[in-house]
């Protein structure tokens, strides 16, 4: 009876040694000195030995493996500070509070807008769109057209709007202009100064997290040496921060010039502002699959309008 287990153990050890010899022959296991019966049945190579072996092989071949640099798949290794700031966490977060970032926003996702209005209705008190200009992140003009209001013009407000009766001869109808402009603004980050007035003239409301109002960026005021929460005009900010004069003369404002100025002001504090927004804005739910049958017209519904704009329009 005692011989049975010893024979069984001996056969198992013999099979182990045969497999070991085969692995050594194929070069998969480094040869070693056997210590007879004292050699343990199974022994794993320590990790350090494997690491040294790889290092030795690399040095023999003249190649030293470089450690891999881990880079976020959505962030280029050569990303600029502006791009890194735009890589802000506004995505949906996990249960542990880890926020998922959106892809880096390209400059093409940014536009600036400015509108000029004329007076319609009783005593010309109603403001309606008469010109709209949209510029790119670099300040190039994307859109600039005169718009014919839906109601008869009572006051051209030329001193401020720059609009005259002559401009209305080639103006396009409001509905046509509205459709063209909203197509440009769709899915964009829209920059402007007191931009709620422009959206009201367009009878449209842009998503808050994709709106950048330069009249509501305290760090711009601070740079200009003005009270952080004060309502400062575009003209004043341009003079203090960009050292340029706008809205001068008696021919009215240029909506192209005002849109470009708003974009320049935004770019001055873009990194700081986007970083601040990333901290303050709540996580945004993932966007639903786009339905080709829907467009920006949904935002023209009254339920999307803030109460203060609703009050002004009544």
Q: Which CATH number belongs to the domain containing residue 160 in this structure?
A: 3.30.420.10
pLDDT at residue 122, as a whole number: 94
Query: Looking at the domain assignment, is residue 217 inside a domain?
Result: yes
CA distance linking residue 99 with residue 260, whole number of Å: 33
pLDDT at residue 126, as a whole number: 94
Range of the domain at 269: 108-280
Query: Looking at the domain assignment, is residue 100 inside a domain?
Result: no
Residues 6+ apart with CB under 8 A from 53: 30
Cross-strand bridge partners of residue 173:
148
Alpha carbon separation from 140 to 108, 149, 215, 242 (Å, rounded): 11, 26, 22, 18
Decide the pairing of beta strands 189-192 and 110-120. Answer: parallel
Could you read off the pLDDT tens digit of each residue along the chain, which spans 314 residues? 455 555 556 777 888 888 888 888 777 777 665 444 444 444 444 444 444 444 444 444 455 454 444 444 444 444 444 444 444 433 333 333 334 344 345 778 999 999 999 999 999 999 999 999 999 999 999 999 999 999 999 999 998 899 999 999 999 999 999 999 999 999 999 999 999 999 999 999 999 999 999 999 989 999 988 887 888 999 999 999 999 988 877 677 899 999 999 999 999 999 999 998 888 866 665 555 545 444 444 444 444 445 454 444 44
Query: Looking at the domain assignment, is residue 221 inside a domain?
Result: yes
Q: For residue 45, give the nearest of 53, 55, 37 by alpha carbon.
A: 53
Query: Looking at the domain assignment, is residue 63 inside a domain?
Result: no
pLDDT at residue 288, as a whole number: 52
Return the structure tokens found at 59.
């040095």
Query: Looking at the domain assignment, is residue 214 inside a domain?
Result: yes
pLDDT at residue 83, as a whole number: 45
pLDDT at residue 24, as a whole number: 80
- To the question of pTM greater than 0.75 for the whole model, the response is no
pLDDT at residue 6, as a whole number: 54
Q: For residue 132, give the nearest of 211, 188, 195 by alpha carbon.
A: 195
Query: Looking at the domain assignment, is residue 19 inside a domain?
Result: no
pLDDT at residue 229, as a whole number: 80
Number of helical H runs and strand E runs in the chain:
11, 7
CA distance linking residue 222 with residue 236, whole number of Å: 13
Contacts of residues 221-229 at CB distance under 8 Å and 24 or more positions apart, as own/partner, are: 223/268, 223/269
Residues 6+ apart with CB under 8 A from 136: 107, 108, 110, 111, 142
Query: Looking at the domain assignment, is residue 201 inside a domain?
Result: yes
Do 163 and 145 form a contact (C-beta atoms < 8 A)? no
Query: Looking at the domain assignment, is residue 142 inside a domain?
Result: yes
Do 200 and 313 form a contact (C-beta atoms < 8 A)? yes
pLDDT at residue 119, as a whole number: 96
- Number of domains observed in the structure of the chain: 1
pLDDT at residue 71, as a whole number: 41
Residues 6+ apart with CB under 8 A from 271: 81, 82, 85
């Amino acid at each position: 009876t005692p011989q049975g287990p010893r024979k069984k153990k001996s056969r198992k050890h013999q099979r182990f040694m045969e497999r070991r010899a085969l692995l050594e022959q194929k070069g998969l296991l480094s040869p070693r000195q056997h210590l007879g019966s004292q050699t343990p049945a199974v022994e794993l190579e320590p990790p350090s030995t494997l690491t040294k072996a790889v290092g030795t092989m690399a040095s023999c071949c003249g190649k030293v493996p470089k450690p891999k640099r881990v880079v976020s798949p959505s962030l280029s290794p050569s990303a600029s500070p502006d791009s890194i700031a735009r890589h802000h966490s506004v995505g949906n977060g996990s249960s542990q509070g880890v926020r998922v970032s959106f892809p880096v926003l390209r400059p093409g996702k940014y536009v600036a807008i400015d509108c000029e209005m004329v007076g319609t209705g009783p005593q010309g008190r109603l403001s309606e769109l008469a010109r709209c200009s949209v510029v790119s992140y670099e300040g190039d003009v994307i859109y600039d057209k005169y718009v014919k209001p839906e109601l008869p013009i009572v006051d051209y407000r030329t001193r401020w709007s720059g609009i005259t009766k002559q401009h209305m001869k080639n103006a396009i109808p409001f509905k046509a202009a509205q459709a063209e402009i909203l197509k440009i603004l769709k899915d964009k980050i829209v920059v402007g100064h007191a931009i709620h007035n422009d959206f009201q003239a367009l009878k449209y409301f842009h998503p808050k997290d994709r709106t950048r109002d330069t009249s509501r960026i305290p760090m711009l005021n601070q740079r200009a040496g003005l009270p952080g929460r004060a309502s400062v005009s575009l003209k004043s900010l341009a003079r203090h921060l960009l050292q340029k004069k706008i809205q001068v003369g008696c021919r009215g404002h240029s909506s192209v010039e005002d849109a470009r100025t708003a974009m320049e002001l935004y770019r001055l504090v873009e990194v700081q502002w986007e970083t601040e927004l990333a901290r303050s804005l709540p996580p945004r739910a993932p966007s639903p699959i786009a339905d080709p049958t829907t467009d920006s017209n949904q935002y023209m519904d009254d339920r999307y309008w803030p109460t203060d704009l609703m009050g002004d329009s009544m």
